[in-house]
Structure 1
Amino acid sequence: MVFDKSSSLNPRQQQVMRATVRHYVSTAEPVGSRALLEAFDLNVSAATIRNVMGALERSGFLYQPHTSAGRVPSDSGYRLYVDELIKPSKPTAQRIDQLLTQNLNWQGWSLEALLQEAAQILAHLSGYIALVTMPRLENMVVKHLQLVKISADQVLLVVVLDSYGTESMLVQLPRGITGVGTLQDDGEIDRELQILSNFLTAQLCGKPLSEISSLDWHEVDTREHHVLALCQAINDLAHRKRQPQTHILVTGVKDVLNQPEFAEQSQLRNLVALLADGREQLWPLMCAEDNHPLKIWIGEENPLEPMQGCALISSTYCNRHSTPLGSVGVMGPTRMLYENTIAAVEATSSYLSEIMSGLDVSQ
């Protein structure tokens, strides 16, 4: 259920709703009027708080799990809290930015190792499950190409991307033609391959993989058949890497599953199975839409049943041209301190965007 913003609350209702969410997040116990009176400076009587909570319950923002119990926020209540009652915590954003700056150094690290460490820092600070999608290779920009001789008529094509990742492909060169396959001296072969490497790098440097497979190589001066073979191999490699990816790094599962929301074994098993074997289903939930980099799914808003007791907050990280490369997110129970979690996710995505922009060669 998504909150209808036309149903705005008055200031007192906002105050009580905010206090109820924060008290429930900290205690995991249904909230009563007296507990709010003792924990927060609301400047009203317990009777007034009860009346306000009753109105919030009738509006669908709170509910009673048991007749004699206090009240807890509903999914709509959390949605109201996120949309109207909070702002991301600046101290939390500053804290995670400090941790990332102190602990991450992409020089000498693989991109996957860098993202894994960022996820671990996010999971540790938030106390929830952290998820990071690997960059979409079709958005990666070519930095350099290198050809390595394997045999008289085979070369290894290595494409270095702006993430400092590499993609490679074995290329069979045509026989019986002028080109690398006819050269005998190793020095000549190395020089010819270097010339070809420089030529291909000049043609492709700064282009994303998504554009390479649509290039018309016949417009390039490719009089040698072995050059045409290499161009076709590059097209094939780019087309292959345009297929959808679902590689998601996940960390922090063990700690968050100790939360009381996951005490029911069947719910726990379903969530663990999703994180272990169904990660491809999480991919569309984390991808940005309509130029809104931040996405928040709360409870039954989640289309995946194992997640309907959870909240998922994600934000994209981009290159210097604001092209989304991947997403970073946090999953935990709906009983979440959203102002801290949103700030942590946004700060992490911003930090990763800075790193990816620094790696981007298409400047």
Structure 2
Amino acid sequence: MQINLNARQQNILWATVRSYIATAEPVGSKTLAQSYDLGVSTATIRNVMAVLERSGLLFQPHTSAGRIPSDNGYRVYVDDLIEDPTDLQEQLLQVLSDRLGQQLNDNLETLLHQATQILATLSGCIALVTAPPTDTATIRHLQLVAVDRNRIMAILVTDSYQSHSVLLNLQSDSQTGLGSPLGHTIAPLSPVNDDRRTEPDAIEQLEQELQLLNNFLNLQLRGKTFYDILNIDWSELNRQFRSYGAWLQQLLDVLKHNHLRPAIGQVFVGGMTGLMRQPEFAQTDQIQDVVQLLEENQSELWPVLGPTSPDRVVVYIGSENPLEPMRQCSLISTGYSCGSWAMGSVSLLGPTRLPYERAIASVKATAHHLSNTLNSVNST
């Protein structure tokens, strides 16, 4: 919707939106004249507000009440009237660095959970941070560890520093197929199964084989996606490893079926009670659909919150939201990345009456911090 406003109309729309954001009360011409240095009389302000109402940018919730911004009014405010939040973004980025540190000390899931909680606290809105979907992740490291002579632990770490592990039982009968998800069973690792070996000797031989395989697998798999590894032709291995081909294929099948299936990234949610405190949602039924969406129907969020470019901020205001339960709210999103890969998104969900400058600065600062952390780790 293209609306051309002159400077006076822009100033009065800006002041009306700022006043309503601050007070949640309909705004009258007298309030604007007293609170803002607009350089015009109360009568002039009242006439301009009437023009803005006819243009669909303001409306009166009740007869004889002041006016409040419409979704279109907020849209003009966000697109044309808000101040550059760069300085605020830098301040918030420093807060995030102080609270989270600049290293991935534990794992990505912990970092995303903590960032979600801090973002919710800084903004007073619902914070939504998505984890990377597994099908876009690439392999950073695979480690096979002997537990005893009949069991090994396979530990896989991705470029997003998510880890997957599975305990595998080694069978004596190589013709037996994969076991149940609760007891993963694969054919014996060694081509020769000698029950006369002592436990220490058997474990030592197993560890030697695993070390050989660990070196080989990391050379072959590092930097590949989960989809890539499922299409490796193990019959083409060089002679030294050809005898392990069937065993490796079974190992990857176990990981594929139980741990590495392409999946929608997890959505971390924080600050739910913050939205409930807003006067727009004083009635329980006004927030019930939003709560149900966030708690029970998160799969519906993914097309809206999917990974986006870190250079782009998307703002949905009220009726612009693609999901019906969110059409009383505004959603602000941007992406975080690792190198050139879009990893996930950082979003805020709040009432349409929210401080857009701070909200935009908050999501940009959080996404920037996550990108910096992942890139610093990935470069080591």
1:212 to 188, 210, 229: 229
**CA-atom RMSD, angstroms?**
2.5
The answer on whether the counterparts of 2:330 and 2:349 sit within 8 Å (CA) in structure 1 is yes
Match of 1:91 among 87, 94, 103: 87
Say if 1:292 and 1:283 are closer, same or farther in 2 by CA, change over 3 A.
farther
The CA distance in 2 between the partners of 1:359 and 1:139, in whole Å, is 18
Q: What displacement does 1:220 show?
A: 3.4
Q: Which residue of 2 aligns with 1:310?
A: 329
Where does residue 191 of structure 1 map in the other structure?
Answer: 208
Map of 1:76 onto structure 2: 72
Q: Does 1:221 align with 2:202?
A: no
Structure 1 residues 83, 214: closer, same or farther in 2, change over 3 A? farther
Q: Which residue is 2:183 aligned to?
A: none
1:341 aligns with 2:351: no
Match of 1:280 in 2: 299
User: Tell me, which stretches of 5 or more residues in structure 1 are unaligned?
Assistant: none
- Deviation by residue 1:128-173 (Cα, 9 ceiling, x = unmatched): 1111111222222312111133565654322122333211345566
1:168 aligns with 2:165: yes
1:43 aligns with 2:39: yes
Which is higher, the Rg of structure 1 or of structure 2? 2
Q: Which residue of 1 aligns with 2:180?
A: none
Does structure 1 retain, via aligned residues, the 8 Å contact 2:108–2:162?
A: yes
Alignment of 1:1-363 (within 5 A): 4=1, 6-105=2-101, 106-149=103-146, 155-170=152-167, 175=173, 179-180=189-190, 182=192, 184=197, 185=201, 186-221=203-238, 223-234=241-252, 237-238=255-256, 241-288=260-307, 293-321=312-340, 323-360=341-378
- Name the CA shift for 1:315/1:218 in 2 (closer, same or farther; >3 Å): farther
- CA separation of 1:227/1:155 partners in 2, compared to 1, >3 Å: closer, same or farther? farther
Offset, 1:7: 2.3
1-structure distance, mates of 2:74, 2:261: 38
Give aligned-pair identity as a percent. 43
The more displaced of 35-44 and 292-301 is: 292-301
After TM superposition, the structure 1 stretch with the greater mean CA deviation from structure 2, 164-173 or 184-193, is: 164-173
* Number of residue equivalences: 357
Q: Per the alignment, in what secondary structure is the counterpart of residue 56 of structure 1?
A: helix
Q: Distance in 2 between matches of 1:213 and 1:292?
A: 33
In structure 2, distance between residues paired with 1:263 and 1:81: 25
Give 2:220's aligned amino acid.
Answer: Q
Shift of 1:302: 1.5
Tell me if the contact between 1:163 and 1:359 (Cα under 8 Å) persists in the aligned partners. no
- Judged with a 3 Å threshold, the aligned counterparts in structure 2 of structure 1 residues 89 and 180 are, in CA distance, closer, same or farther, namely same
Q: Is the 8 A contact 1:119 1:249 kept in 2?
A: yes
Distance 1:295 1:287 in 2: 12
